[in-house]
């Protein structure tokens, strides 16, 4: 009866075995979901970032999307983007999902095909820094920092882009010193980044902790002075230490000169 309903010969049923199948549900996590603001008719956009070959990416992606749609029952239409560094990483089989791609509902974007960074909008150029080879990433990062300063007028957006650049460099060059990072960013911009703030706080805590452990605290000012050497050893400058400990630059320099 089923095959007759779909317009096929009923004898075709002899080529099939029928059963009712239970589908077990597993936990999924979607890389990113851009949800329209309340009342907006814009479409929901799903983002999947894939930088390693995965033959099951599309079966997982569409399972995630369909499960999301079932659980949340959104009124808005949807689309999806899969972001790859290059086409060689795109190893998934799309034969079960071909219509999603031919209709344009799902797009695949390859970063290395977007053109030269200098000719791209600054946001896309920054994203391309992820795939830059190490020998050109530093120069490209400096160019992006200069572009951020000149092209982005909003201080908040400037800091977002600078932090994005910083995070990319952090993962590409995990051994980069504070001095190298500072030279690249410039002190005023660097002070606003998460890396600097965490490293700065680490230096403060380490210096104060060492001062306490050595048992040489004789009031608050002695504790601060004892913290100086450890903070300088952690890579902070004299001016940065003075600012953190509320000391004068001259007081910090006197401590450094008195060290053996």
**Domains detected in the chain:** 1-113 (no CATH), 115-192 (no CATH), 200-258 (1.10.10)
Residue 48 in this model has a pLDDT that exceeds 90: yes
Rounded to whole angstroms, how far apart are CA atoms 231 and 255?
12
Rounded to whole angstroms, how far apart are CA atoms 110 and 85?
5
Rounded to whole angstroms, how far apart are CA atoms 33 and 36?
10
Residues 113-122, mean pLDDT to the nearest whole number: 89
Residue 119 in this model has a pLDDT that exceeds 70: yes
Helices (H) and strands (E) in the chain, counts: 12, 4
- Token match 């569409």: residue? 62
How confident is residue 203, by pLDDT bands cut at 50, 70 and 90?
low
Surface-to-core class of residue 54, CB atoms within 10 Å of its CB (0-12 exposed, 13-18 middle, 19+ buried): middle
Rounded to whole angstroms, how far apart are CA atoms 1 and 7?
10
Longest dimension (CA), the chain: 98
Q: Provide CB contacts within 8 A for 17, sequence distance 6+.
A: none
Which has more pLDDT, 242 or 94?
Answer: 94
pLDDT of 219: 44
pLDDT of 149: 85
| Cβ atoms of 111 and 87 closer than 8 Å | no
| Cβ atoms of 117 and 148 closer than 8 Å | no
Strand ranges in 40-189 using DSSP code E only, listed in sequence order: 44-49, 78-84, 106-110
Pick from 184-188, 228-232, 241-245: least confident? 184-188
Rounded to whole angstroms, how far apart are CA atoms 55 and 94?
10
Determine the 3-state secondary structure of 218 from DSSP: coil
Rounded to whole angstroms, how far apart are CA atoms 12 and 10?
5
Q: Which helix (H) or strand (E) holds 33?
A: strand 32-34
Strands 32-34 and 44-49: antiparallel
Pick from 14-23, 63-72, 207-216: least confident? 207-216
Residue 22 in this model has a pLDDT that exceeds 80: no
Task: List the structure tokens of 102.
Answer: 């031919």
Residue 199 in this model has a pLDDT that exceeds 80: no
Q: Directed axis angle between helix 194-213 and helix 178-185, to 10°? A: 140
pLDDT of 170: 76
Mean pLDDT of the chain: 79
Residue 86 in this model has a pLDDT that exceeds 90: yes
pLDDT of 254: 77
- From 153, 128, 155, select the one nearest 144 (Cα to Cα): 128
């Amino acid at each position: 009866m089923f095959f007759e309903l779909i317009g096929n010969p009923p004898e075709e049923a002899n080529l099939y075995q029928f059963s009712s199948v239970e589908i077990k549900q597993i936990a999924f996590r979607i890389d990113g979901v851009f949800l329209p603001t309340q009342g907006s008719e814009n479409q929901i956009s799903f983002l999947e970032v894939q930088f390693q070959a995965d033959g099951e990416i599309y079966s997982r992606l569409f399972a995630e999307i369909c499960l999301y749609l079932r659980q949340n029952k959104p009124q808005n239409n949807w689309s999806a983007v899969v972001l790859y560094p290059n086409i060689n990483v795109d190893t998934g089989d799309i034969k079960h999902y071909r219509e999603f791609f031919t209709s344009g509902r799902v797009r695949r974007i390859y970063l290395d095909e977007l053109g030269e960074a200098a000719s791209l909008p600054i946001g896309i150029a920054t994203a391309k820094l992820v795939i830059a080879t190490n020998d050109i990433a530093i120069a490209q990062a400096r160019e992006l920092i200069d572009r951020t300063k000149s092209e982005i007028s909003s201080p908040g957006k400037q800091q977002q882009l600078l932090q994005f650049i910083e995070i990319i460099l952090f993962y590409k060059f995990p051994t980069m010193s504070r001095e190298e990072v500072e030279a690249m960013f410039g002190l005023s911009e660097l002070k606003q980044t998460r890396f600097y703030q965490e490293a700065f706080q680490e230096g403060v805590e380490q210096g104060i902790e060492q001062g306490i452990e050595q048992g040489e605290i004789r009031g608050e000012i002695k504790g601060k002075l004892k913290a100086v050497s450890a903070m300088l050893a952690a890579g902070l400058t004299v001016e940065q230490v003075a600012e953190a400990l509320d000391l004068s630059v001259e007081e910090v320099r006197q401590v450094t000169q008195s060290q053996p």
